[in-house]
Amino acid sequence: MIEAAALGLAAGLVAGMLGVGGGILFVPALTLGVGLSQLDAEATSLLAVVPVALVGAWRQERYGNVAIRDAAVIGALSGLGVLAGVALANALPTRALKIGFAGLLLVTAFQLTRHAIGSLREKRTLREKRSRLERRA
């Protein structure tokens, strides 16, 4: 029980810091940490995603970063996809589900890496600009 709570805290911390959704971290936390099956971990992760996304959206809304109408349309028209996804998750063998999730992990790892490298480049460019300006002054 304490394990689940600690893992939730840690996953949330990383999710908030890196700007990734909680789900990608909740699922491995629930399989490796709590011992749920891949399917049950995915299903249970969704329950944890709801409050995390809610608080995140609420914070972003205060900064004017939410196109609320577009978000509502995306959410309202997601039903068919969700239905297909859930049915598929329940139909697929665990092995296929694990391989699919591994693919998602790799895509996320790639996005994180690209983002980090882009951000490091940006910082270096800024530093160089500043030092050039300082030299001129």
Partner 1 sequence: MAGGRTLKLAAIGTAAGVFSGLFGVGGGVVIVPLLILWFSFDERRATGTSLAAIVIIAAVAVILQALYGNVHVLDGVLVGVPAVAGVLAGTWLQQRVPVEAISLLFALLMVVIAAHLVLG
Residues 104-123 that bind partner 1 (CB under 8 A): 104-113, 115-117, 119-120
How many residues lie near partner 1 (CB under 8 A)? 100
Site residues for partner 1, 46-105, by CB under 8 A, read 46-57, 59-61, 63, 65-68, 70-90, 97-105
- Within 8 A by CB and 6+ apart from 33, the residues are 3, 4, 7
Which one, 9 or 126, has the nearer CB to partner 1?
9
Return d(Cα 129, Cα 29) in angstroms, integer: 43
Residue 124 interacting with partner 1 (CB under 8 A)? no
Which one, 19 or 93, has the nearer CB to partner 1?
19
- Within 8 A by CB and 6+ apart from 101, the residues are 27, 38, 42
CB of 95 to partner 1, least distance (A): 9
Residue 10 interacting with partner 1 (CB under 8 A)? yes
CB of 128 to partner 1, least distance (A): 17
CB of 93 to partner 1, least distance (A): 13
Residue 21, amino acid: G
**Is the alpha carbon torsion for 48, 109, 78, 42 positive or negative?**
negative
Burial (Cβ within 10 Å: 0-12, 13-18, ≥19) of residue 43: middle
> In the structure encoding, which two tokens stand for residue 92, read together?
């697929």
Residue 126 interacting with partner 1 (CB under 8 A)? no
